[in-house]
Amino acid sequence: MEKRNGVLLLGFLVSLIIAILFINRVEAAPSVYYGKVVGIEFSVLQVRGQDGRVSVFWCGYKTFLDSRPPLIGDRVKVEYIKDSIMRNAVTRIAVLK
């Protein structure tokens, strides 16, 4: 009888863990950031927002450029998501006029 209760308890705990993992799925929705480019280092883009705060964005091979690569001093619209190591990964960059 004790063995059966142990097996039932273990099965319940495993089922509970699996259910929690499926419930906590979060889909990545892109966020938008407007600002002026203040620095560029290889694949890193530093953008100053309207509040004066500088944010760092990582560009990669999946980054889509709407017009041309941004230069220092350009106003940009950056769409980004948080990647697996919690960086701001850029999905799309648009240079504004």
Domain boundary assignment for the chain: 31-96
Q: Is pTM beyond 0.95 here?
A: no
Per-residue model confidence as pLDDT tens digits over 44-85: 999 999 999 999 999 998 899 988 999 999 999 999 998 878
If you classify domain 31-96 with CATH, what class do you get? Answer: mainly beta
The encoded tokens of residue 97 equal 């006029």
Contact 77, 37 (CB under 8 A): no
Q: Check pLDDT > 90 for residue 28.
A: no
